[in-house]
Structure 1
Amino acid sequence: MARHGVLPTRQRSVGFSILGVIGEILLTLAAVCALYIAWQLWWTGVVAERTQMETRQTVSWSDPASSGSGTQVAQPQQGDPPVQPSVVTDGSLVAQLYIPRFGLNWQRNIVEGISAEQLAKHGLGHYPTSQLPGQIGNFAIAGHRGGYGEPLAYVDQLQEGDPIIIRTQDYWYVYRYTKYKITVPEDVAVVSPDPFNVGATPTHRYITLTTCEPRYSPTPATHRWISWGELDYWAKVSDGVPKELAATDSSGQVKFAVQETPSVFARVSSLTDVLMWVMIAYVVIYLAALVAWRYPALRSIREGERPRPDASLYGWLLRRQPGPVVIQLLLVAILAFAGAVALFQWAFPWLASNVPMFQLMSAYVSVE
């Protein structure tokens, strides 16, 4: 018999309860899959951005020459360009890449090596078998088009004559985009010293950008998008910035157009710290609600004021949070956020590194 004032409710059968729980599990898995996509396409880029910032800080390259409150425009130099760096090691910073077509503040690091680790951590990698900036031949670079900061996401927007600018410690190398080719991964000739006359002694200074095609693919991309450019001129960093990277402000002063403005998320040093503070917030709110209200939902069920609910994972979790419904929902939201942070920090990187299905989803794009 139901207590006076409480309307009896008809509980679902065991079969329907089981189906309900299965449905909740499937919804949870769908949310985890959506979070994995967000991790792959967005958070890996945040991590890459933070790593690139830290790398630039460790090398402490000097700023381009300035004059008063403005920046000088470096004059193009005559003669053969110097080659820099003279010595490279795997993972070391080779150069920085600027492509104005991709955005006013667009810049990426180029490190030595095209392993999955280097491309994931740093964005762009230099083919060790190709030439260095300034050398006659082909300065070849590999980069992701989706995920890990997607440095080469918009290569299809390049137009003939667009500047592709390389900065080493002391020099600028301004290349001009010429053309592209869509090919298969086995076509290694595209990164040869003379990609247009394979086997011949090179006489020009080329740059090659290699990335995946199509941009998004559930399995490793079947093709590669190859972009080529040729050296236009070189300049000294001590003389200023190339005119292609110079801008004039309202007062007429020349400024370096590229300003390093890290995203809010890139300033987060570690998700472990975020998780710690989130859990501290949960414990504080939980204990405060426990002292003030305890478990009103469980009490009302125990005393017969509310009917015993059907089986539900979400309902079970909600009822075990103290306080009124608003506080309960807040606590559950904090737990869900903490779970997402844990997935980003530990679970998803492990899956992408160890589970074959997730390894196949990784956007490793170098031409091998």
Structure 2
Amino acid sequence: MARATNVASRRDSGVRGGSNSVASSVLGIIGEILLTLAAVLALYIAWQLWWTGVEAEQAQADQRQDVSWVNPKQGGSGYSIAKAQSGEPPVEPKSANTGDLVAQLYVPRFGSAWHRNVVEGTDAYQLSRHGLGHYPETQMPGELGNVAIAGHRSGYGEPLAHVDTLQKGDKIIIRTKNYWYVYTYTDYKIVTPEHTEVIAAVPNEPGKTPTDRYVTLTTCEPRYTTATHRWISYGKFDYWAKVSDGVPKELSTGDASGAVEFSQGESSPLAKLSASMTQLIIGLAIAYIVVYLAALIAWRYPALKALRTGHRRAPGASIYGWMYRHQPGPLAIRWVLMIIVFLTVVACLFEWGFPWAASNIPYLQVTSNFVAVE
């Protein structure tokens, strides 16, 4: 009788143990799924706030290479300082089509190497891919009136992220094919989107005939949440100069020898990588196949063999554990293969997954302002 009771007790314990084991496995898998979703969300934020800027940087560099603009004059001691010209400034360009490179904007307050392209048009595609956009209904550089320029404040290179750091007297400099136009920052205001008078020929005085030249920068406010307002920064024309004479003194820096330096903003290695992301994915896939096959031929699946022969305790249910055990080769090789898989998945998300999500999921469409490259 006692023996029968012990057997029944062990059976009950086995049943309870089996139930607990199944529950633990299910909870473990749910935990892995949740952690994976959290990682994907973190990667999406990195893509939105950082990688879109890397891609925009490369797009701007490519666009600059496609135009023939005058190079600033250089002498024996670096770049020359361009002399401020008197008289009416030339208007350049006279006109432009949507997407054309109109100018480049330099703001020393944002950093000595900071500059962004300014293209014609302010639609989502131009602002997401090409830096800054010139409002077509406003004046061109050098023309009497207001050169109004729009840009993102977060993501896509966040060209106007730091407009709140501008101080009265700071310089805002527009460079076109042949000329520099130097403006002095005056003040700012925050308005709701319907206040279009901020980009009038005379800012905030629609219909008034301009007798001076202005620059207006518009961007979103607040920076990281739904943009309910617009941050408007104003500048007033100071002087113009010829690019063929050199660079404005406000953009020049000196080295130890006293030579005048000027950063023209070469694209970073990461920006160049963004242009060849598809090739990177193909390279990672080929690397995985080569290493996988070589390890399979040389060692087969030691982790699975250890389980079959009883030399290793059976592990709990795990998505990543299953993937890891099904990689061939010793420990180091399996880790290399897992890392290649991880990098390939991340690259695919950045290249195709996140752009698709930002273009097709309603909430992400609203928050990202993303426009797929055609």
Pair in the same fold by TM > 0.5: yes
Question: Which residue in 2 is equivalent to 1:295?
Answer: 301
| Contact persistence 1:146–1:363 (CA under 8 A) | no
Letter in 2 for 1:156: D
| Contact persistence 1:65–1:239 (CA under 8 A) | yes
Equivalent-residue separation in structure 2 for 1:189 and 1:103 (angstroms): 30
Equivalent-residue separation in structure 2 for 1:358 and 1:270 (angstroms): 25
Structure 1 residue 16 displacement after superposition = 2.4
Letter in 2 for 1:35: L
Equivalent-residue separation in structure 1 for 2:263 and 2:170 (angstroms): 16
Structure 1: segments with no counterpart, 5+ residues: 1-9
> Per-residue CA shift, 1:75-108, capped at 9, x if unaligned?
1111111110012000000000001110111110
Equivalent-residue separation in structure 1 for 2:31 and 2:24 (angstroms): 10
| Contact persistence 1:164–1:174 (CA under 8 A) | yes
Question: Which residue in 2 is equivalent to 1:173?
Answer: 181
Equivalent-residue separation in structure 2 for 1:245 and 1:317 (angstroms): 55
Equivalent-residue separation in structure 1 for 2:134 and 2:353 (angstroms): 30
Question: Which residue in 2 is equivalent to 1:224?
Answer: 230
Q: Is 1:54 aligned to 2:59, yes or no?
A: no
Query: Residues 309 and 248 of structure 1: is their aligned pair in 2 closer, same or farther, counting only changes over 3 Å?
Result: closer
Comparing 203-212 and 281-290, the one that deviates more = 281-290
Structure 1 residue 261 displacement after superposition = 3.3
> Per-residue CA shift, 1:270-325, capped at 9, x if unaligned?
21111111112212221222122211111111222223322211111111001222
Of residues 76, 81, 87, the one that matches 1:79 is: 87
Letter in 1 for 2:269: V
Equivalent-residue separation in structure 2 for 1:267 and 1:75 (angstroms): 35
Structure 1 residue 117 displacement after superposition = 0.4
Equivalent-residue separation in structure 1 for 2:117 and 2:300 (angstroms): 54
| Contact persistence 1:147–1:363 (CA under 8 A) | no
Structure 1 residue runs of 4+, over 3 Å off? none
Task: Within 5 Å, give how 1:146-157 maps onto structure 2.
Answer: 146-157=154-165
Structure 1 residue 69 displacement after superposition = 4.6
Letter in 1 for 2:252: A
What is the TM-score when the length of structure 2 is the normalising length? 0.91
User: How many correspondences in the alignment?
Assistant: 353
Query: Where is the helix percentage greater, Structure 1 or Structure 2?
Result: 2
Question: Which residue in 1 is equivalent to 2:330?
Answer: 324
Question: Which residue in 2 is equivalent to 1:260?
Answer: 265
Of residues 355, 359, 362, the one that matches 2:361 is: 355
> Per-residue CA shift, 1:142-177, capped at 9, x if unaligned?
101101001001101111111100000011000000
Question: Which residue in 2 is equivalent to 1:246?
Answer: 252
| Contact persistence 2:57–2:271 (CA under 8 A) | yes
SS of 1:230 mapped into structure 2: strand
| Contact persistence 1:90–1:113 (CA under 8 A) | yes
Structure 1 residue 363 displacement after superposition = 4.8
Task: Within 5 Å, give how 1:298-309 maps onto structure 2.
Answer: 298-309=304-315
Equivalent-residue separation in structure 2 for 1:240 and 1:90 (angstroms): 29
> Greater relative contact order (Cα 8 A, min sep 6): structure 1 or 2?
1
Identity of aligned residues (%): 59
Q: Is 1:116 aligned to 2:121, yes or no?
A: no
> Per-residue CA shift, 1:87-146, capped at 9, x if unaligned?
200000000000111011111000000111000001100011111111111110110110
SS of 2:66 mapped into structure 1: helix
Equivalent-residue separation in structure 1 for 2:163 and 2:135 (angstroms): 18
Equivalent-residue separation in structure 1 for 2:200 and 2:369 (angstroms): 23
> Per-residue CA shift, 1:213-249, capped at 9, x if unaligned?
11111xx311111100011001111111111112222
Q: Is 1:184 aligned to 2:192, yes or no?
A: yes
Task: Within 5 Å, give how 1:23-172 maps onto structure 2.
Answer: 23-172=31-180
Structure 1 residue 250 displacement after superposition = 2.1
Letter in 2 for 1:214: P
| Contact persistence 2:197–2:205 (CA under 8 A) | no
Structure 1 residue 336 displacement after superposition = 0.8
Equivalent-residue separation in structure 1 for 2:337 and 2:67 (angstroms): 44
Comparing 316-325 and 59-68, the one that deviates more = 59-68
> Per-residue CA shift, 1:313-346, capped at 9, x if unaligned?
1111111001222221221111011000000000
Of residues 326, 334, 351, the one that matches 1:345 is: 351
| Contact persistence 1:83–1:134 (CA under 8 A) | yes
SS of 1:59 mapped into structure 2: coil
| Contact persistence 1:162–1:177 (CA under 8 A) | yes
Equivalent-residue separation in structure 2 for 1:190 and 1:87 (angstroms): 22
Structure 1 residue 25 displacement after superposition = 0.9
Aligned-pair Cα RMSD in Å: 1.6
